[in-house]
Structures are given as structure tokens and as C-alpha cells.
Amino acid sequence: MISQNNIKLSINRCKKYRKKIFDISQKVFALHLGGAFSSLEMVDYIYNFHIPSSKKTKNDDIFIMSKGHSCIAQYIILGERGVLTSHDIENYCKANGRLGCHPDYGNPGIQASTGSLGHGLALATGISHANKLQGSSSKTFVILSDGELQEGSTWEALMMAANLNLDNLICFLDHNGSQSYGVTKQTHPKFYPISSKIKSFNWECVTVNGHNVEEIDKAYKSRKTKKPFFIIGNTTKGKGVSFMENKPIWHYRSPTPEEYLIGLKEIERGFK
């Protein structure tokens, strides 16, 4: 069980990350705030509970942000850890920086290039299989978006990961129910529910509140099989700022200075 202290630390970290991301939204035009805020607790959980920051540890677990447009959440955490520099973060999406709107392999801490949807799970499948071949006990964590479940390539990878018995692969779904052009249940009304489909591909699958670290951890530790593991995190796009929540327009838009001040107060207040 995760300790109450760890839960508190996680909540505080995410509050700090949200504020930092919100600050950046005032400096650059292009920022996918909505998706970054919906995945934040899961990104925090993967990094801070599974991928230690110290280079001295032997752990070489890998995290792939398959929904690459939310990588600002990754950058902020990598910045906190000193893997990325403050210069890197300050020059996000700027001419003299090296960090773009989507993660690039080769930048410190970035283990795969994503941005085009539907690539992360196949890459993670290859990585997980290589870990097995090389006798490594490392794990591979992935976060997918709802939109990525509409890519055929994601289902190809789901099929193959199960065949290869990849119990070292853990895939989160940031299930905020939105995509660039509206609500996913309107795009594909006949597709839902998700969980039974994932299970039918021979994955173990659980559903949690994706903003609740205690629930995420409990689900992670509840694993019963040796199948690849899929955690559906029910989330809210733009979580933490009421006027942004579940509004598809915040997929890409940055807040005005007035909106920023209102939102900042809400982030500081936090949510239950």
C-alpha cells in the first residue's frame, strides 16, 4: 500500500507541475494543456514510483509518452530531476532550445520519438521483447491517448504484445474521452466499452481514476496474471482548471492572461 505521506507528496508534486506547465502556457503559443493535465498524475506515478531519478541505480525502465503532445508533463519532471536543464525548459518551443511540442529521441531522458499517434505501443513491444532477450528485468511503461485507440497500428501492437507474453509491458490509457475534433464517444459511438476489447486481446486490464495516485498504485499492485498489463485511467481533460475541463478547445489553446490568473488560483487550491 502506498503511504499517506507518499500520496501527499504526489499531490503536491502534481500541483507544482501543473503550475509550471501553466506558466509556460503564457510564454509559448503551442501547448497541449488539456492532455498534459489529464495525464499528469499517471506520468508522475510512472516516473516517481517506478523510474528512479538516480543514475546510480541499475533500473533502466523505460517510459514512452505515446501521446507525444502531452510531453510537457514529461519535460517538467525531467527538468525537476536535472535530466533537462532550466535552459531547456525555458526555451521550450523556441529557436534556441532543443525541446519541441513532441518528444524527440536523443534529447536527455526521452526514450522514443512520438507525436504521430499510434507508434508508441509497437515501439514499447519491441523494447519489452528485447529486454526479455537480453535477460533484463526492466519494465516498459507507455501512456496512450484515446485517439490512439483509433489507430489500427495500436491494435496490431496489442495483438503482438500478448503473443509475445510481455509481462514487462505496462500500458496506461489517458481516457479523458476527448480528441482534437470533439468527443471520442461521438466519433466512435459503437466502440465502447474499451476494457472488454483490451481483455479480448489477452491483456490484463483494470480501470481506475487516473487522477488518484492511490487508486493507480492499488491497481498496479493488483495484477494477477503474466499477461501484458493495461490500466485505463479515467481522466478529465484540462483537470484542475474548471473552465478548461472537458472542453475540446483546450486540446491546443493557451489561456489569455486573465484566464491564466483565474486558472492559477484553481490549481493552487487543488482538487479532490
Partner 1 sequence: MRDKFADVIYKIGKKNKKIAVLVADISPAGSISDFKKEFPERFINTGVAEQSMIGIAGGLALKGMRPFCYTIATFALYRPFEMVRVDLCYQNLPVTIIGMGAGLVYSTLGGTHHTMEDIAVATAIPNMTVICPCDPEEMKLATEWCALKSKGPVYMRLGKRGEKTFTKNAIDSFKIGKIRKVTSGKDIAIITYGTLISMSFEVKDKLNDKNIKASIFSCHTIKPLDEIGILKILKEYKKVIIMEEHVPNGGLKDKVLSLAFKNKMKTEIKTFTLKDKFIHFYGSYPELLNVHGLSSNKIVSEILKRK
Interface positions with partner 1 (CB under 8 A):
105-106, 111-113, 115-116, 118-119, 121-134, 152-153, 156-157, 159-160, 164
CB of 105 to partner 1, least distance (A): 5
- Please report which helix (H) or strand (E) contains residue 173, including its range: strand 169-175
Torsion, CA 243, CA 151, CA 93, CA 97, rounded to 10:
140
Report the residue number, 116 or 222, with the smaller CB distance to partner 1: 116
Q: Is the separation of the CB atoms in 117 and 104 below 8 Å?
A: no
| Grid cell in block for residue 51 | 523510474
CB of 75 to partner 1, least distance (A): 18
Report the residue number, 39 or 131, with the smaller CB distance to partner 1: 131
CB of 74 to partner 1, least distance (A): 17
Alpha-carbon span 128 to 133, nearest angstrom: 9
CA atoms within 13 A on the CB side of 11: 15
Report the residue number, 7 or 164, with the smaller CB distance to partner 1: 164
Cβ burial of 5 (10 Å; 0-12, 13-18, 19+) is: exposed
Report the residue number, 105 or 192, with the smaller CB distance to partner 1: 105
CB of 63 to partner 1, least distance (A): 13
CB of 114 to partner 1, least distance (A): 8
Report the residue number, 105 or 243, with the smaller CB distance to partner 1: 105
CB of 122 to partner 1, least distance (A): 2
Cβ burial of 241 (10 Å; 0-12, 13-18, 19+) is: buried
Report the residue number, 46 or 127, with the smaller CB distance to partner 1: 127
Calculate the alpha carbon distances from 270 to 12, 16, 71, 239, 261 in Å: 9, 10, 22, 10, 15
